[in-house]
A and B are shown apart, each in its own frame.
Chain A
Amino acid sequence: MTLLATRQVTASAPRRGSRPRRWGRGSAGWFFVAGYAVLLLAFGVFPTCYAFYLAFTNSAGQFTGFNQFTKVVRDYRFGPAFSHVLLYLVLWLVTLVVLTVLAAVLLRSRVRPGLSALLRFLYYIPGALAGVASVLVWLFMLDPDVSPVSWLLDRLGLHTFAAVLAPGNLPVIFMLIAFWTGAGGWMVVMYGALNNIPDEVIEAARMDGAGPWRTAWHIQIPMIRQWIAYMTILAFAGGTQLFVEPQLLQTASLGRVSPAWSPNQLAYVYAFQQGDFNGAAAISVFLLALGLICAGLLVARSNMFTLDET
């Protein structure tokens, strides 16, 4: 810090000394960040505080302590909503980590570079359909009447669209959708991380007689460990927010799927069908806390985010 200060002083020393230097510097910084800071306050800090405020008060604005929280936790839909998402997260994270890392390793060391580039590109394309489009496409893929893999659905005993949308299948369906749109991008990223491992390291392992599988397990995967952790935390945080997928499936299933399948949907039901903004806020405080914990973990525990280089 002192070093930095000296450098600044010497750098600006030749200028006419009349200008109050420190004030000048600081105000320029604030001038540049002002627009962003306003947006940050308006759509980051303020909504968070307002959600907390609503969660601790009632519709008349009176402080009610933890009443809103106990109310939503006791709601018969609260437990199921969180356990649905938990089950989905377990499926999604295991599939994501295993298949993404495996595919990246194979694409990096077992396939010709040209073919590898083509495959990465094709795996990554469905990412363009993230959101509503992906859910609609998968509605078709899962409808035995029109699906190109209806023989597979038949084999699994799923002969009608209603059978496919049975409550027990939903976590798997959302996992498929999430994997279809998200995994390709992560494979590209993991491939990039594997590419950063110096060739000499891999070469040395080969010289020592390690086959491709052992090299992957003992050298490559440990060296991209932090990227795997990064992906897992981001995917976990994102997964807790599930909304579009169950919401559209609910529409398409003519109400066979619960309108409060995920916590975000439950908050939506509170706000839009029951007009209970305080209850909705209490649920979003739970979700905010989850997101904050994940973000805090990543920032504090990993060295991935360079906060200050000086």
Chain B
Amino acid sequence: MTPLAPAPRAAARRATPSRAVSALVVGVLLAVLLVFFVLPVVWLLLAPTKTADQIVHDNPLSFGSLHQVGRAWRHLYDFQDHALLVWLRNSAVYSLGSLVLTLLTSVPAGYALALTRFRGRKTLLVITLVTMIMPSATLVLPIFLELNRFHLIGTVWSVILPFSFYPFGVYLVYIYFATSLPRDLLAAARMDGCSQWQLFTRIALPLAKPVIGLVAFFSFVGNWNNFFLPYLVLPNSDQFPIQVGLNQLLTSTPSFNPVAGAGLNITIPELALAIIVAILPVLVLFLFSQRTLVSGMLAGATKE
């Protein structure tokens, strides 16, 4: 209990039983939370190692065999002629395509909002803030109606372009440049005859690497996990991203759909394996990015 150490006197005066109770409450609460958060993950990782029958009858936290993982993978791979790989590829195209467009638009925009003055700047900032705080799902149905009006439903762009609109990214870049790019540096470069374009590419961009990583992380994770928009605008299975594909797999699992799922090899281990494969890219990013998350969420409070 190192954090308690600096106040030994105050601590010593307290009655020991109440301290013990207090410590017990703390321990139990944190342990219950730990089980709540971790148990489903552990179960998920173990599920593909067992057959559907073993999952029902064996100890829920037992390990089956790696051989069974291979079998589950073959069943999954054979589902609708390796649809899983098509969905994964689609997800990669949508997430990475919109990531590129997001970076190309949000980095210059955040830079200009922070360091140049132009008419309408304030309006643009306010709209950006409001759309950033509004849940992105609010705009999904209106965007669907709009795309439908212009007959863009079912095209790759109906997902990539709306995904590329990322006001939170603009805000992060804006805050970053507004707080950590010294204005004197820009003024000096301007004196040396740098054009606006050179100021951006030679001075601002090289300094922006941390915030570009931040925007890329949030954009990729959000778009990879997005379900609502592609669910509405992509009618064909061969265009689905993996999230919508998982939904399709679910309807093909006998345990949840005895009628449509009968005769298919998609059972619980296959579905669990599909979930793991689907989240793998995001999970890998998460393993290394706790700091990223905090700095992103705390970005609004950088001002003292």
Chain A residues packing against B (C-beta within 8 Å): 4, 8, 11-12, 14-15, 24-33, 35-37, 39-40, 42-48, 50-51, 54, 99, 102-103, 106-113, 119-133, 136-141, 143, 145-150, 180, 184-185, 188-189, 192-193, 196, 203, 206-207, 209, 211-213, 227, 230, 233-234, 237-238, 240-241, 243-244, 247-248, 251-252, 254, 264, 267-268, 271-272, 277, 280-281, 283-284, 287-288, 290-292, 294-296, 298-299, 304-309
Contacts and interface: CB of A to CB of B under 8 A. Distances in A.
Contacts of A103: 29-30, 33
Contacts of B108: 32-33, 35-36
A182 B4 CA distance: 30
B74 interface: no
Nearest to A102: B29
A147 B61 CA distance: 10
Contacts of B10: 206-207, 209, 211
Given A146-B56, A264-B137, A36 B118 contact: no
B232 interface: yes
A181 B146 CA distance: 31
B85 interface: no
B226 A295 contact: no
A131 B243 contact: yes
A203 B10 CA distance: 11
Nearest to A210: B10
A254 B279 CA distance: 25
Contacts of B243: 131-133
18 contacts: A11-B187, A11-B191, A50-B146, A122-B34, A126-B37, A127-B286, A128-B279, A129-B283, A137-B275, A140-B47, A193-B301, A209-B10, A212-B4, A227-B301, A267-B141, A280-B141, A305-B300, A308-B122
Contact of A47 (B106, B146, B290): B146
A201 to B, nearest CB: 13
Say whether chain B's binding surface is mostly helix, strand, loop, or mixed: helix
Given A29-B118, A29-B121, A287-B138, A149 B39 contact: yes
A251 B298 contact: no
Contacts of A296: 130
Nearest to B199: A28
Given A140-B47, A146-B60, A294-B133, 5 more contacts: A33-B124, A45-B127, A48-B139, A133-B243, A252-B257
A193 B148 contact: no
B68 interface: no
B88 interface: no
Interface stretch (B76-84, B206-214, B245-253): B245-253
A90 to B, nearest CB: 18
Contacts of A146: 55-56, 60, 255, 268
Nearest to B134: A291
A160 B17 CA distance: 44
Say whether chain A's binding surface is mostly helix, strand, loop, or mixed: helix
B272 A140 contact: yes
Which of A32, A37, A125 has the most CB atoms of chain B within a 10 A radius of its CB? A32
Interface in B110-158: 111-113, 116-119, 121-122, 124-135, 137-139, 141-146, 148-149
B43 A284 contact: no
A267 B137 CA distance: 12
Contacts of A211: 10, 14
B246 A180 contact: no
A39 B286 contact: no
B157 to A, nearest CB: 11
B243 to A, nearest CB: 5
